[in-house]
């Protein structure tokens, strides 16, 4: 437990830090929640651990574009700036290099110098510096499996948890700024079975083709070696779904605008599942589960509405 003088006190604005592996992850995981909190006056900062330099071009209309492939790093930075503006958040690059997603059997080694191979002490210190600078009351990241087993997502989890635990300790990283202890840490939860089944059922009732049929058929196979998330918190953010989608589309190299992610009409999404979901992983304040607010248990402490 942090010392009393490290605990947020009354009269401060609420602050949220969302830590992600690559640019575009912030727009596909919790983006509507961020936009809602921005609308409410919360200070929101996104941290991208890597620049996404080894990401594939997933938009069919942009594949083979030599101007993009020649400088994908700059392209992805421009895309991130557009998404940031749409969501209204602040943004920081942690400064590490994308590890890529190794494929094959056996898996090839990760490339030298990539985020997945950086010593945890080094990457944690960088994030601790940002935590102490921005002083978030709440942090979000991925679970220990990274949401899916990408080496950068798993490392993002490790770094985020380590920084959450170290930032308030004056004996840890003493040159990284004045200690600051966040109060809660959450894991992003995206496509739970409950959400997928709700969308699939709604599409079938409207006689529309469901993009989730195959996903549901292979659900058990898909979940092998993955931990079933414990949803503790549902944040209502239906009014921000359009900005979430616009932010994701701003990452034009990374999404197919005609792909499955955009197949369920927004009015259907707002009606059948108007929330984004999170798992409370650490809390230094009392809160009653389930929650409807990432700042539950904190608002009274900081004097926020």
In terms of phi and psi (left: phi > 0; alpha: psi -120 to 50; beta: otherwise), the region of 146 is left
pLDDT in tens, the chain (305 residues): 333 334 445 567 999 999 999 999 999 999 999 999 999 999 999 999 999 999 999 999 999 898 998 999 999 999 999 999 999 999 999 999 999 998 888 889 999 999 999 999 999 999 999 999 999 999 999 999 988 889 999 999 999 999 999 999 999 999 999 999 999 999 999 989 999 999 999 999 999 999 999 999 988 887 777 778 899 999 999 999 999 999 999 999 999 999 999 999 999 999 999 999 999 999 999 999 999 999 999 998 887 65
| pLDDT of amino acid 148 | 83
| pLDDT of amino acid 105 | 83
Would the CA dihedral through 207, 208, 209, 215 be positive or negative?
Answer: negative
Binding site listing:
22, 25, 153
Q: In what order do the strands lie in the sheet with 184-189?
A: 90-96, 43-50, 15-20, 138-141, 184-189, 275-283, 233-236
Binding site listing for Zn(2+):
22, 25, 153
- Among 240, 272, 244, 257, which residue's Cα sits nearest to residue 83? 244
| pLDDT of amino acid 53 | 95
Query: What are the chain's domains?
Result: 15-190+230-299 (3.40.50.10320)
Q: Partners of 90 in the beta sheet?
A: 45
| pLDDT of amino acid 5 | 35
| pLDDT of amino acid 305 | 52
Q: How many angstroms separate the CA atoms of 271 and 252, rounded?
A: 27
Tokens of residue 117, six digits: 């191979």
| pLDDT of amino acid 95 | 97
| pLDDT of amino acid 226 | 75
Q: How many angstroms separate the CA atoms of 130 and 283, rounded?
A: 20
Residue 226: DSSP 8-state? -
* 85 CB-side CA count, 13 A: 9
| pLDDT of amino acid 4 | 31
């Amino acid at each position: 437990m942090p010392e009393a003088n490290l605990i947020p006190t009354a009269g401060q604005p609420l602050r949220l830090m969302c830590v992600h592996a690559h640019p575009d992850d912030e727009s596909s995981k919790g983006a509507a929640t961020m936009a809602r909190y921005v609308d409410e006056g919360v200070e929101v900062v996104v941290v991208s651990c890597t620049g996404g330099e080894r990401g594939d071009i997933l938009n069919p209309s942009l594949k083979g574009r030599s101007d993009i492939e020649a400088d994908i790093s700059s392209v992805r930075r421009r895309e991130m700036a557009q998404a940031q503006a749409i969501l209204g958040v602040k943004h920081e690059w942690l400064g590490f290099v994308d590890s890529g997603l190794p494929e094959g059997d056996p898996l090839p080694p990760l490339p030298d110098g990539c985020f997945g191979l950086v010593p945890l002490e080094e990457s944690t210190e960088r994030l601790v510096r940002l935590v102490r600078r921005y002083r978030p009351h709440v942090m979000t990241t991925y679970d220990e499996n990274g949401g899916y087993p990408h080496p950068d997502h798993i490392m993002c989890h490790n770094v985020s948890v380590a920084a959450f635990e170290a930032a308030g300790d004056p004996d840890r990283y003493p040159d990284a700024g004045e200690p600051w202890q966040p109060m809660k840490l959450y894991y992003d939860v995206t496509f739970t079975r409950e959400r997928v089944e709700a969308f699939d059922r709604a599409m079938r009732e409207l006689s529309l083709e469901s993009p989730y049929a195959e996903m549901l058929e292979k659900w058990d196979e898909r979940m092998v070696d993955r931990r079933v998330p414990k949803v503790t918190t549902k944040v209502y953010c239906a009014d921000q779904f359009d900005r979430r989608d616009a932010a994701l589309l701003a990452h034009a190299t990374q999404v197919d605008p005609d792909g499955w992610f955009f197949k369920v009409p927004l009015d259907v999404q707002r009606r059948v599942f108007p929330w984004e979901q999170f798992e409370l992983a650490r809390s230094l304040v009392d809160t009653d589960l389930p929650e409807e607010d990432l700042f539950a248990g904190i608002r009274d402490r900081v004097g926020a509405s």
